[in-house]
């Protein structure tokens, strides 16, 4: 499968590693910053600064989109309409209508879309999922997640129109898809934010379809260098603490323990180990393998949209002071 990569910034560099180490063939790269693109690939493949030109000249089977959020929809739709499958970084789109535009373009072209929700490929997340599936933890009752960061990121992340919101739409999306990966579909959201749709801090209270509850709390207001993305689970038979994912990469959390569990009344360190960048590589390679085999990726249109729907519900809740049902959001979108 021939793949063209669009965007060679922070995450594009890791996608580049993933594609190079996969069965897929890298055929072109594209970045507005041609020097960055050229220095990333040398003479390996042609370099472009225009996506349409890249697709028309390189003829890829799939386009990998690692761009600021406001470009996810136009670039995906362009690629799909030209007959390519699409790999998208999170979030799938900068709003719900954008998710629907991508889905329509995919349906119209008969192509597939994979969204990289990399943290579900982090081995401690997979291990936690195994403990849930095997029944060892029992029924999930509550999930607590945090996203404590120090120092706001600059560049396009300072511009709410390019992000489609603030911290929740950016790094917060990882917390949302992890909540659904571990707890199942979210049905209600109530949120408190400093400034909805350009938020630096938020608290979300979640109701899951299963009856479980969850809290996600995030903010940029920690000391510089802090990145804390811990997840705690309380279940009917046990408990678990996932100490972090990006916390061991972006932040200064150290050590080899990633997951602690309380099973049969005994706390223990689980031996599972992994690294954030490896989870990104695993996620991209899983999507590439599915697309090459003509299968829908594990995280595709439905799961990508679901995470964006929870963000939208959180914004509406913060704006109105009401608890928002996800189903109510769907009525409004289709109405």
Q: Smaller CB distance to ligand NAD: residue 7 or 114?
A: 7
Chain residue whose CB lies nearest ligand NAD: 9
The residues in 118-147 that bind ligand NAD, with binding defined as CB under 6 A, are: 118
Alpha carbon 138 to chain centroid, angstroms: 27
Q: How many CB atoms lie within 10 A of CB 170?
A: 22
The residues in 34-93 that bind ligand NAD, with binding defined as CB under 6 A, are: 36, 66-69, 71, 89-90
Task: Decide: is 176 part of the binding site for ligand NAD (CB under 6 A).
Answer: no
Q: Among 3-11, 129-137, 140-148, 305-313, which window interacts with ligand NAD (CB under 6 A)?
A: 3-11
Q: Smaller CB distance to ligand NAD: residue 230 or 262?
A: 230
Please enumerate in sequence order all residues whose Cβ is within 8 A of that of 111, keeping only pairs 6 or more positions apart, or say none: 80, 83, 84, 85, 86
Can you tell me the distance from the alpha carbon of 153 to that of 166, in angstroms, rounded to the nearest whole number? Answer: 11
Residues that bind ligand NAD (rule: CB under 6 A) add up to a total of 24
Q: Smaller CB distance to ligand NAD: residue 29 or 131?
A: 29
Interface with ligand NAD (CB under 6 A), residue from 94, 95, 145, 170: 170
Q: Smaller CB distance to ligand NAD: residue 87 or 212?
A: 87
Q: Smaller CB distance to ligand NAD: residue 208 or 227?
A: 227
Q: Smaller CB distance to ligand NAD: residue 24 or 37?
A: 37
Smallest gap, in angstroms, from Cβ of residue 249 to ligand NAD? 9
Task: Decide: is 244 part of the binding site for ligand NAD (CB under 6 A).
Answer: no
Beta strands in 136-258 (DSSP E): 140-149, 186-193, 201-208, 213-219, 227-228, 231-235, 239-242
CA dihedral 303, 306, 311, 317 (to 10 degrees): -160
Smallest gap, in angstroms, from Cβ of residue 178 to ligand NAD? 12
Can you tell me the distance from the alpha carbon of 259 to that of 240, in angstroms, rounded to the nearest whole number? Answer: 7
Q: Smaller CB distance to ligand NAD: residue 6 or 212?
A: 6
Q: Smaller CB distance to ligand NAD: residue 32 or 273?
A: 32
Task: Decide: is 223 part of the binding site for ligand NAD (CB under 6 A).
Answer: no
Among candidate residues 171, 154, 157, 276, the one with its CA nearest the CA of residue 218: 171
Can you tell me the distance from the alpha carbon of 200 to that of 31, in angstroms, rounded to the nearest whole number? Answer: 28
Smallest gap, in angstroms, from Cβ of residue 252 to ligand NAD? 17
Smallest gap, in angstroms, from Cβ of residue 334 to ligand NAD? 26
| Residue 2 backbone zone (phi > 0: left; psi -120 to 50: alpha; other: beta) | beta
Burial class (CB within 10 angstroms; exposed 0-12, middle 13-18, buried 19+) of 198: middle
| Residue 264 backbone zone (phi > 0: left; psi -120 to 50: alpha; other: beta) | left
Q: Token digits for 210?
A: 């299963």
Interface with ligand NAD (CB under 6 A), residue from 79, 280, 287, 314: 280
Interface positions with ligand NAD (CB under 6 A): 6-12, 30-33, 36, 66-69, 71, 89-90, 118, 155-156, 170, 280
């Amino acid at each position: 499968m021939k793949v063209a990569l669009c965007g060679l910034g922070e995450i594009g560099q890791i996608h580049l590693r993933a594609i190079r180490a996969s069965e897929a063939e890298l055929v072109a790269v594209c970045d507005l910053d041609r020097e960055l693109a050229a220095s990333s690939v040398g003479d390996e493949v042609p370099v472009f600064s225009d996506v349409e030109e890249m697709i028309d000249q390189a003829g890829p089977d799939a386009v990998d989109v690692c761009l600021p959020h406001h470009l996810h929809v136009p670039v995906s739709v362009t690629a799909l309409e030209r007959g390519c499958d699409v790999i998208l970084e999170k979030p799938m789109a900068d709003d719900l209508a954008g998710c629907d535009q991508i889905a329509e373009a995919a349906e119209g072209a008969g192509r597939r879309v994979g969204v990289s929700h990399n943290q579900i490929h982090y081995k401690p997340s997979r291990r936690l999922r195994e403990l849930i599936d095997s029944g060892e933890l029992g029924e999930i009752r509550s999930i607590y997640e945090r996203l404590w960061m120090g120092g706001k990121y600059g560049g396009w992340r300072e511009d709410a129109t390019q992000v489609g919101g603030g911290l929740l739409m950016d790094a917060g999306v990882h917390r949302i898809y992890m909540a659904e990966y571990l707890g199942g579909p979210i049905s209600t959201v109530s949120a408190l934010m400093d400034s909805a749709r350009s938020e630096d801090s938020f608290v979300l209270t979640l109701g899951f379809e299963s009856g479980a509850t969850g809290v996600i709390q995030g903010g940029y207001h920690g000391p510089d260098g802090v990145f804390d993305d811990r997840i705690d689970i309380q279940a009917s038979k046990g408990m678990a603490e996932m100490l972090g994912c990006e916390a061991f990469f972006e932040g200064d959390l150290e050590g080899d323990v990633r997951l602690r569990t309380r099973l049969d009344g005994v706390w223990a360190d689980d031996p599972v180990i992994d690294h954030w960048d490896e989870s990104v590589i695993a996620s991209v390679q899983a999507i590439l393998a599915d697309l090459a085999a003509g299968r829908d990726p594990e995280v595709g249109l439905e799961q990508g949209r679901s995470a964006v729907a929870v963000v939208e519900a959180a914004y509406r809740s913060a704006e109105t002071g009401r608890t928002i049902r996800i189903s109510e959001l769907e009525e409004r979108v289709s109405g």
